[in-house]
């Protein structure tokens, strides 16, 4: 039996160094998350929450830097994964307070459990008075029927039957978050810097707080998006999708859009990459998408005519919540419709362009999701979790920084608790977005001025080393 060669002393020191730093980073992050958990009500202690989250962001950046500049080792991988799970368990014990969305999830689930259609009646309808509990007082939008897509509603219905408590109701969304972690860990195994890339998502403080502490349902759509991208990723010598991949990716993206709408923007690309014969291209995939949609919508068919009205009422009520470029468009145009129309046009144009040019799926997703977050009129902090899995493949410093600076948006809760006014402080919005756009523009300028070397070009052509900016 041939004995495997032992690593050199220098290599053992590098591996030990990475492992030691990973352990130290995990311990410091866990300490910060444990202190956050001890705060109890994060809304009441919002100043301390923001401070701890920003401190966690600093530790996160230091850990990422060391992981990126040291050799990959299996012990470090398990530390990254174990740390990610422990961080989430630590904050899972918290009752959601930074956002009251989960109270609306529970309400919609209880309404369905009682036999009502959440799209037909608003929570303040007198016929639903007997269902009201303490969560009803603080949930968002009691004056309009539910705005959450059908697949999310089915999850809410199941949760109402199996998970009556608020903390327990977070379980499906935390499990979806862990599914994203598992998908990325599997995908990144072959990457030379896979530990670093996995930590980008696994240890991201925004992801951990928004899902483990607040229980947002965005993790469902993110899991579907990552699964679909894993299906449609290009392989050498296989520029198009097989029929099976085409159908599977279309169904997965449709399911994601039925949980939260944003994955639908990637569906044209999945259909365009199909390898069907010319006359059949995309039809089976479209049929699968239509079937999934029909199955999810069927239980709520009695309120189909109300869907457009609910959507427009939602748009009218929720506007100008923590936007960036949309605020500039609104200021320059003076009309919400024009500002929103420009943003929607840019996103639609990007989706069509990516599909027409058959842009590499990961890059297309990064561009499209990034454009949505830049141009949307409502960009709550948890929306920025959408792009974090893509940062594992495009670890752009500007976007990584923005994912941490989004904690500054919770400053809105201070005034809201004092005088009941929901208004994002322009100064804090500048603190959030100016560093992001400055770093983004600076990175793009440096990349343009510095022509890539042969080695860099080879790295960019390799799937595991793409790091370009938006």
- pLDDT tens per residue across span 130-176: 999 888 888 888 899 998 999 999 999 999 999 878 888 999 999 99
Q: pLDDT value at position 467?
A: 40
Bin 148: left if φ > 0, else alpha if -120 < ψ < 50, else beta: beta
- pLDDT tens per residue across span 252-306: 999 999 999 999 999 988 888 776 555 555 677 888 899 999 999 999 999 988 8
- pLDDT tens per residue across span 26-48: 999 999 999 999 999 999 999 99
Taking a C-beta distance cutoff of 8 angstroms, is the pair 354, 269 a contact?
yes
Taking a C-beta distance cutoff of 8 angstroms, is the pair 68, 195 a contact?
no
- pLDDT tens per residue across span 196-223: 999 999 999 999 999 999 999 999 999 9
Q: pLDDT value at position 2?
A: 41
Helical H segments across 237-385, by residue range: 243-257, 267-272, 283-297, 307-317, 325-333, 336-357, 361-375
- Alpha-carbon distance of 27 to 283, in angstroms, equals 51
- The fraction of the chain above a pLDDT of 90, given in percent, is 65
- pLDDT tens per residue across span 46-65: 999 999 999 999 999 999 99
Reduced to 3 states (helix: H, G, I; strand: E, B; else coil), residue 119 is: coil
Number of helices followed by number of strands (H, E) in the chain: 23, 0
Token pair 């859009």 in the structure block, residue: 257
Q: What is the mean pLDDT of residues 91-120?
A: 95
- Alpha-carbon distance of 194 to 188, in angstroms, equals 5
Question: How many other C-beta atoms are found inside a 10 Å radius of the C-beta of residue 328?
Answer: 14
Q: What is the mean pLDDT of residues 311-324?
A: 78
Integer angstrom CA distances of residue 379 from 76, 213, 231, 299, 397: 34, 19, 28, 30, 20
| Res. 461 pLDDT band, cuts 50 70 90 | very low
- Alpha-carbon distance of 25 to 85, in angstroms, equals 14
Predicted TM-score (pTM) of the model is: 0.90
Taking a C-beta distance cutoff of 8 angstroms, is the pair 159, 172 a contact?
yes
- pLDDT tens per residue across span 216-257: 999 999 999 999 999 988 655 455 777 788 889 999 999 999
- pLDDT tens per residue across span 335-363: 888 998 999 999 999 999 999 898 999 99
Q: pLDDT value at position 453?
A: 41
Using the predicted structure, report yes or no on whether residue 469 has a pLDDT greater than 60. Answer: no
Q: pLDDT value at position 5?
A: 47
- Alpha-carbon distance of 30 to 35, in angstroms, equals 8
- Alpha-carbon distance of 360 to 235, in angstroms, equals 10
- Alpha-carbon distance of 406 to 400, in angstroms, equals 10
Reduced to 3 states (helix: H, G, I; strand: E, B; else coil), residue 6 is: coil
Q: Is the dihedral of CA 437, 384, 352, 460 positive or negative?
A: positive
Would you state the structure tokens that stand for residue 423, as one six-digit string?
A: 């208004």
Q: What is the mean pLDDT of residues 313-327?
A: 82
- Alpha-carbon distance of 24 to 70, in angstroms, equals 15
Nearest residue to 442 (alpha-carbon basis) of 469, 460, 467: 469
Non-local (6+) Cβ contacts of 39 within 8 A are 45, 48, 49, 52
Reduced to 3 states (helix: H, G, I; strand: E, B; else coil), residue 321 is: strand
Taking a C-beta distance cutoff of 8 angstroms, is the pair 65, 117 a contact?
no
Question: How many other C-beta atoms are found inside a 10 Å radius of the C-beta of residue 236?
Answer: 8
Token pair 């928004």 in the structure block, residue: 210
């Amino acid at each position: 039996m041939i004995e495997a060669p032992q690593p050199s002393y220098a290599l053992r020191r590098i591996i030990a160094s990475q492992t030691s730093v990973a352990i130290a980073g995990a311990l410091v992050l866990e300490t910060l998350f444990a202190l956050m958990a001890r705060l109890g009500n994060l809304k009441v202690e919002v100043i301390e929450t923001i401070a701890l989250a920003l401190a966690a962001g600093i530790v996160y950046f230091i850990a990422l830097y060391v992981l990126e500049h040291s050799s990959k080792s299996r012990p470090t991988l398990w530390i990254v994964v174990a740390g990610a799970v422990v961080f989430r368990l630590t904050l899972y014990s918290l009752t959601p307070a930074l956002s009251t969305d989960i109270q609306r999830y529970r309400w919609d689930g209880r309404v369905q459990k009682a036999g009502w259609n959440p799209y037909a009646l608003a929570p303040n309808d007198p016929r639903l008075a007997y269902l009201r509990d303490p969560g009803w007082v603080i949930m968002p939008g009691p004056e309009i029927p539910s705005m959450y897509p059908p697949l999310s509603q089915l999850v809410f219905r199941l949760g109402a039957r199996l998970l009556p408590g608020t903390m327990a109701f977070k379980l499906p969304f935390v499990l979806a978050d862990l599914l994203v972690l598992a998908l990325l860990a599997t995908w990144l195994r072959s990457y030379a810097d896979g530990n670093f890339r996995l930590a980008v998502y696994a240890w991201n403080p925004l992801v951990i707080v928004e899902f483990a502490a607040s229980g947002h349902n965005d993790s469902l759509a993110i899991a579907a998006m990552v699964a679909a991208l894993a299906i449609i990723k290009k392989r050498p010598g296989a520029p198009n999708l097989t029929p099976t991949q085409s159908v599977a990716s279309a169904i997965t993206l449709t399911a994601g859009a039925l949980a939260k709408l944003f994955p639908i923007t990637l569906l044209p690309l999945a259909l365009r990459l199909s390898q069907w014969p010319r006359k059949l291209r995309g039809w089976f995939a479209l049929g699968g998408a239509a079937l999934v949609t029909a199955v999810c919508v069927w239980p709520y068919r009695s309120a189909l005519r109300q869907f457009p009205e609910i959507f427009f009422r939602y748009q009218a009520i929720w506007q100008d919540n923590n936007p960036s470029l949309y605020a500039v468009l609104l200021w320059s145009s003076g009309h919400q419709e024009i500002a929103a129309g420009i943003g929607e046009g840019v996103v639609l144009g990007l989706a069509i362009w990516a599909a027409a040019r058959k842009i590499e799926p990961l890059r297309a997703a990064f561009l499209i999701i990034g454009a949505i977050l830049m141009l949307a009129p409502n960009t709550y902090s948890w929306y920025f979790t959408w792009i974090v899995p893509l940062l594992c493949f495009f670890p752009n410093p500007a976007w990584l920084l923005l994912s941490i600076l989004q904690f500054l948006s919770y400053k809105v809760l201070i005034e809201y608790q004092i005088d009941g006014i929901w208004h994002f402080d322009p100064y804090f919005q500048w603190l959030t977005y100016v560093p992001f756009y400055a770093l983004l523009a600076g990175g793009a300028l440096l990349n343009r001025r510095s022509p890539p070397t042969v080695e860099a070009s080879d790295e960019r052509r390799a799937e595991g080393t793409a790091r370009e900016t938006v």
